[in-house]
Structure 1
Amino acid sequence: MKMEWTLKTDEELRESLRICQFDEGELERQAAFHKGLADPTRLKIVRLLGIAPMCLCELSSALEMPNSTLTHHLRLLERGEVIRSTRLGRNTVFQLTEKEVGEHV
């Protein structure tokens, strides 16, 4: 397949920017989301949570990882709004924010 390209005029570039409608807040959220997924360990966590919500002890056992390391990864995933946590009694249970996230990883 041959690629076709021509140098854009300033007017064409401004129109492209207008179409994209960059929302800085949304770009920051998207960057945080992708940063949350940009690690093999965090991808493992997302895949596990795609099966079912889990608490820290379950994730730690499944991944054979210290709680402190796991907590770091969970914090990044929460910051990127990939997962959310809910306090249930003495446990904090983690789940994906969107089921589709787990299906695409």
Structure 2
Amino acid sequence: MTEKTETEIERLKRFISDKKELEIRAQRLSSLSSGLDEKILPSEVRIFKALADINRLKIIKLLKEGELCVCELTTALSTSQSTVSHHLSVLRTAGLIKERKEGKWSYFRLSDGAVIEILNQAKLLIDE
């Protein structure tokens, strides 16, 4: 047994008195814990934080219908260009949207179909 597994067993002893059940659960917990990719978690947190703002979620839903420029997003959200630019920056950093420049204009679109799938999955949770 690894040192981590021994520590997990000691912690679980407070809750589980049966020794065999304790070992089974500790091994399962150890397996689950080792499956957490600590390198990816910060990126996943960044994605969920980006989606946790109502204005950014509105932008994502608007972009679901296709590419839009900053002026169109500013008009649709009835907010300032600097506010929209800030939200676009957060979404771009999270990898949710992509930018295309054409002269002085910046156009934004969703990164890929996975973003739409996140929205679809959220709707399923709401509908339950």
TM-score, normalization by structure 2: 0.68
- Counting only pairs closer than 5 Å after superposition, residues 8-47 of structure 1 correspond to structure 2 as 9-18=25-34, 20=35, 22-47=36-61
Tell me what 1:82 maps to. 96
What is the CA–CA distance in structure 2 between the aligned matches of 1:11 and 1:24, rounded to whole Å?
A: 19
Provide the secondary structure at the position in 2 that maps to 1:84.
strand
> Once the two structures are aligned, what percentage of the paired residues are identical?
33
The structural deviation recorded for 1:102 is 3.1
What is the CA–CA distance in structure 2 between the aligned matches of 1:96 and 1:13, rounded to whole Å?
A: 37
Structure 1: stretches of 5+ with no match in the other structure: 1-5
Equivalent AA in structure 2 for residue 12 of structure 1: R
Tell me what 1:48 maps to. 62
Shift of the 40–49 alpha-carbon distance from structure 1 to 2, 3 Å rule, reads same
For the aligned residues, what is the CA RMSD? 1.9
Higher helix share: 2
TM-score, normalization by structure 1: 0.81
Equivalent AA in structure 2 for residue 15 of structure 1: S
Provide the secondary structure at the position in 2 that maps to 1:73.
helix
Q: Deviations over 1:37-62 (max 9, x none)?
A: 00111111000000011110110011
What is the CA–CA distance in structure 2 between the aligned matches of 1:103 and 1:58, rounded to whole Å?
A: 24
